[in-house]
Chains A and B, each alone.
Chain A
Amino acid sequence: MTLVRTKIGRRAFIRNTGLAGGGLVLGFNWLASCKMTPEQVRSLPKEWFELNGFLKVGDNGLVTIMSPNPEIGQNVKTAMPMIIAEELDVAWKDVIVEQAPLNTAIFTRQLAGGSQSIRQGWESLRMAGATARHMLKEAAAQAWQVPSSEITTKEGQLMHEASGKSASFGEMASAASNIEVPQEVELKETKSFSIIGTDKKNVDGEKIVTGKPLFGLDVQREGMLTAMIVHPPAFGMKYKGMNAESVKSMPGIKDVFHFEVYQEDTEKQWSDGGGIPELVAIVGNSTWECMQAKKALEVEWEEDSKLESTAYHDEALTALLEKAPEQPARKDGDVEAAFKKAAKIVESTYSAPYLAHNTMEPMNFFAHVTPEKAELLGPIQTPEFLELTLASRLGMPVEKIDVMMTRMGGGFGRRLYGTFAVEAAVISQKMNAPVKLVYTREDDMTQGTYRPAYKVKYKAGLDENGNLIAWHVRGAGTNDDLIFENRFPAGAVDNYLAEKHSLQTNVTTGAWRAPRSNFIAGAEQAFMDEVAEASGKDPIEFRLELFDRAINSPVGEPEKNDYDPERYAGVLKLVKEKSNWGTDSGKSRGVSAYYCHNSYVAQVLDLEDGDGIPRVDKVWCAVDCGIVINPMSAKNQVEGGIVDGIGHATYSAMTFKDGKPEQSNFDRYRLIRNAEAPKEIETYFVDNGIDPTGLGEPSLPPIVGALSNALYKATGRRHYSQPFINERPPLVG
């Protein structure tokens, strides 16, 4: 056992029944998301005893665990409670999971983003479980008059071997709730974990497959109105006026009005990012009636700033790549001098378009704002920031604002930017009624907050022995500067220069699953393949030599390098072994490796040969994310990232003409479908006992490189411009 001080999340261990009461009431209404069997429902405890803000123990031994962070499909709602249950030492079948509401007094960082929920929650979740276990042991020690150090626990039972006494957690729950919260607790040794590291099914699985209300769009309340918005048809346009009278009298329509989402004095948070300042609201009794009114309504818009087209973005990014920025982002040695003496030079430019997030569940939010309080319920990745913005916008103290999260039909970064929830609150305030704001798919896809468009130019120099002596990268993005200057191969090349530019545009952008990495990884790993080919070396050996260099004699200050070369090389070696790299698979094969969000991933991808678009036959994936909480779910996450990465690089793009998005639904915006996804994916995890890191994003970025490199083998051509489906000559045979 390791003894740790309970300092992290200390607030969480101060009991506060008032707060828990709210959770309880909500929990057993529709918002409850548990994996209760019918037997469990019948045997719900008569009384719950809260041991800390994360959990309560019932008198019959059932344990309710609050999952603090928003659930967007990354399955933290199963994994976070597993960590608590592990340290509490309760049987997983006796655990009920509830989504916690926003509660800054108890929880820290209730945010879904950057693949950080598990990494940053790890210690406090363990402490929450261990603290409660400690209190249960103390209660038993007092009841049995034995030292608490002699009491052991197992699967919800307390035992004292010498006296033969035993009791269930349920029997001791009441007494434990009166025990002092300890200053220090013991944590389990990782090798004695019995829940962490085992396959546990999604706690919401049964509700999902039976169609129970779980998502924001499913919220219904007595007297609730439906609201929709109308936003400018093009970036660079703003509201001018409308004649809403005839629409107001359409069946089921309550009101149509123009409103400001934010006012001049609203204190905005970063999460208010890409919002459109002025909108038109249509409020009515039902979704279909609002949709009809939306079609009939004629709004006048006027030009506010430049109406940009995709051709403009492309030209402007290309022009930026022609010039050096004032300051390099990182410079080691002298690339120019090295290029002069290089035996070979390789140079390439890669690009990718804007992408929409396209969560399957469009943006929506429920709000009920009265003069006394505001109740907000829906899908949001950043509830804490939303509350702050609302306090300012509604002129209400945060204590009067309740923010609760529903399960989310996807996030991918889109729901970090909660402007839609602010819109819902403002509309509800104006209507003085409970309102559910719903975006149509078209609203969702054309509203903005896109993955930026990117372009990057690489130049590498090799000496006569095929050693990499110089690496120059210059990248640019729309509203984003793309380059991580301290990532690989920084630190592994003597002469290294990284430069970056950002092009200001009025097409709004935001974080999209694995921001920047989602493009730069694929470009870098495709270019690495070109350089390896020019060097005459095997692409894996070529990379491993560079990692050796970074391990043995790193260039620059090693602590500046944003990666651990040993762990990086580790995943590459593992995938090499598992894919039987070097033997002829009879397929076109590509390799790639990348580090982001604190985790390491290497992949080998086999393409089927044949006519038409080459189909991905198989992907081997090696991952180092430290301790794996829930292996089955971790594999699901890795598979999802791989399919997502292949899909967007191959098929998807948002383009613009005079500021207007040219795609507004899935007829013109192509997403990967079942018959286009890889036939098989094999995932392997490095077992190293290191504290866990994130998994929601890291498998996506490198797969684009593996796909590019395999496409080169299959077609004999390098693919420089995403989506690959548009490459000429076309991929389609």
Chain B
Amino acid sequence: MATYTLNINGKKQEVDVDPSTPILWVLRDHLSLVGTKYGCGIAQCGACTIHLDGKATRSCILPISSIGEQKITTIEGLSENGDHPVQKAWLEVDVPQCGYCQAGQIMTASALLESNPNPSDEEIESAMNGNICRCGTYLRIRKAVKTAAKS
């Protein structure tokens, strides 16, 4: 066990866990931030995507000991009132089916638009390709990314 101070969604949070604990489980089990989802645990599905210093990162294979000063943003901290352009576009297009993968999709999409505000169709598909949606909402995901890019 070791004590770590993390910067999550602009707030300092202290946790006492084993150094090998992935950020995914720190968020979910220790800080009750359950918006970040578990899907595979081996960096294959994207359900656990967070922003680490603004970059889309898989939290399921990211041990807490590797974080240091880097800033973590989760779906809960993406915007104050759920009004990030990507969240708004997701609602407008009515993307979710079961909804389980969508936090990860939104975190990947928002990081994409941060680095590339006007992605082409191919760039959207390739950026979103790491996020599995078992319900098959891929067409609306693409559409919502475009909607968000326009706004």
A interface residues, Cβ below 8 angstroms from B: 72-75, 201-202, 204-206, 208-215, 217-218, 220, 226, 251, 286-289, 291-292, 358-362, 407-412, 440-441, 632-633, 636-637, 639-644, 647, 665-667, 671-675, 677-678, 680-681
CB pair B34 A218 closer than 8 Å: yes
User: Least Cβ distance of A447 to chain B in Å?
Assistant: 15
Interface string of B129-140 (1 = CB under 8 A from A): 111111111111
Interface string of B49-91 (1 = CB under 8 A from A): 0000000000000000000000000111010001000010011
**Which residues of the other chain, B, contact A212 by a CB distance below 8 angstroms?**
35
**Which residues of the other chain, B, contact A204 by a CB distance below 8 angstroms?**
96, 99
User: Least Cβ distance of A231 to chain B in Å?
Assistant: 17
Interface residues of B in 21-70 (CB under 8 A from A): 21-22, 25, 28-30, 32-42, 44-45, 47
Question: Is B94's beta carbon under 8 Å from chain A?
Answer: yes
CB pair A643 B142 closer than 8 Å: no
> Known contacts A209-B91, A642-B136, A671-B132: does B45 contact A360 (CB below 8 Å)?
yes
Closest residue of A by beta carbon distance from B83: A210
CB pair B91 A410 closer than 8 Å: no
> Known contacts A75-B97, A674-B131: does B44 contact A206 (CB below 8 Å)?
no
CB pair B29 A288 closer than 8 Å: yes
CB pair B129 A72 closer than 8 Å: no
CB pair B98 A636 closer than 8 Å: no
Other-chain residue from A209, A640, A674 in contact with B97 (beta carbon distance below 8 A): A640
CB pair B132 A666 closer than 8 Å: yes
User: Least Cβ distance of B13 to chain A in Å?
Assistant: 16
User: Least Cβ distance of B67 to chain A in Å?
Assistant: 15
CB pair B94 A665 closer than 8 Å: no
CB pair A213 B133 closer than 8 Å: no
Tell me the complex Cα distance, A288–B90, Å: 32
Closest residue of A by beta carbon distance from B96: A208
Tell me the complex Cα distance, A88–B126, Å: 47
Other-chain residue from B20, B125, B139 in contact with A681 (beta carbon distance below 8 A): B139
> Known contacts A220-B32, A287-B28, A666-B45: does B87 contact A408 (CB below 8 Å)?
no
Tell me the complex Cα distance, A288–B97, Å: 29
> Known contacts A205-B96, A206-B82, A288-B21: does B136 contact A677 (CB below 8 Å)?
yes
**Which residues of the other chain, B, contact A289 by a CB distance below 8 angstroms?**
18
6 A-B pairs closest in CB distance: A211-B35, A409-B100, A643-B136, A73-B98, A211-B75, A208-B99
**Which residues of the other chain, A, contact B94 by a CB distance below 8 angstroms?**
201-202, 205, 632-633, 636
Which residue, A206, A209, A288, has most C-beta atoms of chain B within 10 A? A209
User: Least Cβ distance of A414 to chain B in Å?
Assistant: 11
CB pair A209 B102 closer than 8 Å: yes
CB pair A640 B44 closer than 8 Å: no
CB pair A288 B22 closer than 8 Å: yes
**Which residues of the other chain, A, contact B97 by a CB distance below 8 angstroms?**
73-75, 636-637, 640
> Known contacts A666-B40, A666-B42: does B106 contact A360 (CB below 8 Å)?
no
Tell me the complex Cα distance, A393–B67, Å: 46
**Which residues of the other chain, A, contact B75 by a CB distance below 8 angstroms?**
209-211
CB pair B98 A407 closer than 8 Å: yes
Question: Is B111's beta carbon under 8 Å from chain A?
Answer: no
Interface residues of B in 96-146 (CB under 8 A from A): 96-103, 106, 125-126, 128-142
**Which residues of the other chain, B, contact A211 by a CB distance below 8 angstroms?**
33-36, 74-76, 103
Other-chain residue from B28, B103, B134 in contact with A671 (beta carbon distance below 8 A): B134
**Which residues of the other chain, A, contact B28 by a CB distance below 8 angstroms?**
287
Tell me the complex Cα distance, A205–B42, Å: 28
Tell me the complex Cα distance, A665–B33, Å: 25
Tell me the complex Cα distance, A360–B41, Å: 12
Tell me the complex Cα distance, A673–B128, Å: 8
Tell me the complex Cα distance, A362–B40, Å: 9
CB pair B125 A674 closer than 8 Å: yes
CB pair B40 A441 closer than 8 Å: yes
What are some 5 contacts across the A-B interface (CB < 8 A)? A205-B91, A217-B37, A288-B21, A362-B38, A677-B139
User: Least Cβ distance of B34 to chain A in Å?
Assistant: 4
**Which residues of the other chain, B, contact A362 by a CB distance below 8 angstroms?**
38-39
**Which residues of the other chain, B, contact A73 by a CB distance below 8 angstroms?**
96-99, 135
Tell me the complex Cα distance, A201–B96, Å: 10
Closest residue of A by beta carbon distance from B74: A211
Closest residue of B by beta carbon distance from A208: B99
Tell me the complex Cα distance, A231–B77, Å: 38
> Known contacts A205-B91, A360-B101: does B136 contact A286 (CB below 8 Å)?
no
Tell me the complex Cα distance, A647–B136, Å: 9
> Known contacts A205-B96, A208-B102: does B34 contact A677 (CB below 8 Å)?
no
Tell me the complex Cα distance, A32–B73, Å: 25
Tell me the complex Cα distance, A217–B37, Å: 9
**Which residues of the other chain, A, contact B90 by a CB distance below 8 angstroms?**
205, 209
Closest residue of A by beta carbon distance from B130: A673
Other-chain residue from B1, B34, B41, B142 in contact with A440 (beta carbon distance below 8 A): B41
> Known contacts A361-B37, A408-B98, A410-B98: does B135 contact A672 (CB below 8 Å)?
no
User: Least Cβ distance of B92 to chain A in Å?
Assistant: 9
**Which residues of the other chain, B, contact A678 by a CB distance below 8 angstroms?**
139
**Which residues of the other chain, B, contact A632 by a CB distance below 8 angstroms?**
94
**Which residues of the other chain, A, contact B76 by a CB distance below 8 angstroms?**
210-211
**Which residues of the other chain, A, contact B18 by a CB distance below 8 angstroms?**
251, 288-289, 292
**Which residues of the other chain, B, contact A677 by a CB distance below 8 angstroms?**
136, 138-139
Tell me the complex Cα distance, A662–B35, Å: 31
With A210-B87, A636-B137 known, 18 other A-B pairs at CB within 8 A are A205-B90, A206-B82, A208-B103, A209-B102, A211-B35, A288-B21, A358-B134, A360-B100, A361-B98, A362-B39, A410-B100, A636-B97, A643-B138, A644-B134, A674-B128, A674-B131, A677-B138, A678-B139
> Known contacts A211-B36, A288-B29, A410-B134: does B126 contact A675 (CB below 8 Å)?
yes
**Which residues of the other chain, A, contact B36 by a CB distance below 8 angstroms?**
211
Tell me the complex Cα distance, A286–B20, Å: 13
